[in-house]
Each structure stands twice: as C-alpha cells, then as structure tokens.
Amino acid sequence: MRYRSYSDFHVNSVWIIMALNIAIFLATLVASKLFALLGLQPASFLRSPWTIVTNMFVHGSFWHIIANMLALYFFGTYLSRLVGERMFLLTYFGGGVLGNILFIFLAPSLSIGIGASGAIYSLGGALMVMRPSLKVYAFPIPVPIPLWAAVIGGFLLVSFLPHVAWQAHLGGLVFGLIAGYLFRKRERRYSY
C-alpha cells in the first residue's frame, strides 16, 4: 500500500478553496465595493442570501487571509486525508454556514461578517475530536502542544477580540465537533 506524503502535490479541494480566497482577496483590493456585495450582513441577508457562502471567501487584511489560509492548508489537508475530500468539503462548508447562521442571529444587524474562520474552526473541531493528542506547533508557543489545546486556546484568544465574529467561530467549532465525533465513530466501526 502506498501512502501519500505532504511532498506529493496535486490540485485538490483545499488548493482550489485557497486559490479562490486569494483571488477574491486581490479583487477586493481593487474593488472595495465587493465587501458589501459578498460580505454577510444580517440586516440585508434576505435580499442577498448568497452571502451566507460568499462571505467565506472575503478577507479584510493581509494578516487575516494569511492566518486563515495557513490554518486551512494544515487542517484541511490533514482532515481530507483522514475522511476524504467529500467529507472535508461537507465539514468546511457546513461549519461555515452554521457559523454564518449564528452570526445572522447573534451579531448586530448592521455588521458585516467576512472570512473563512468559521469554516476553519469546523476543520479544527473535527480534528480535535479525531486526533486530540496530536502534537502541533501554535505560534508563538515554541514547543508542541496537543491539538485540542491549540484549537480551544486559539478560539478563546481570537474570538473575543474587537471586530471578530465570535458567532461564526462558535458555530463552526460546534459543527466540527459533531462531524469529528461522527467521523471517529465511523473510523472505530471500520477498524474492527
């Protein structure tokens, strides 16, 4: 049996999502009106329902997109190898949409939600349940820590900063935890 390594490169859904995010980020640098067109605003959601998905591809700054794309690469490639691309996509978009639903109901109605963080927290939540003791490096901690500590610590540190859509993070994390539980249950069933 041949195992793929991280050195094997092939275009997959993780790379396609990353490319779309980068392309839309560059487009917003040229046309800032795309924020209003693609961002999720609770007050206008019924007039622009596509924003429940499109906002996941819009980022507000260079550091916002860099942090999300790094997390997407590491969480996404690992999860897609564990559960397959179809289940990876379900976890990513399901977590992003659930996070956006919470944003619609819990955020101020005139705020605009952008970014892939809810979807990425969904990936982190799924991996946290499937591989809780996996050791990872989390900046700026210089030693490896358990994945569960990195995901929960990152959630607590980042989610409650000003102008951060904690509602999307929470919804994504909850979706990911449930998905991870179901994936792990299926994994145990097939390992016997």
What is the per-residue pLDDT across 57-72, written as a single tens digit (0 to 9) for each? Answer: 999 999 999 999 999 9
Q: Categorize the per-residue pLDDT at 1 as very low, low, confident or very high, splitting at 50, 70 and 90.
A: very low
pTM over 0.85: yes
Q: Flag whether pLDDT at 26 surpasses 60.
A: yes
Cα–Cα distance between 76 and 72 in angstroms, integer? 5
Q: Is the CB of residue 79 less than 8 Å from the CB of residue 91?
A: yes
Q: What is the CATH number of domain 13-190?
A: 1.20.1540.10
Neighbour count for residue 127 (Cβ, 10 Å): 28
Residue 21 in tokens = 């995010």
The domain ranges of the chain are 13-190
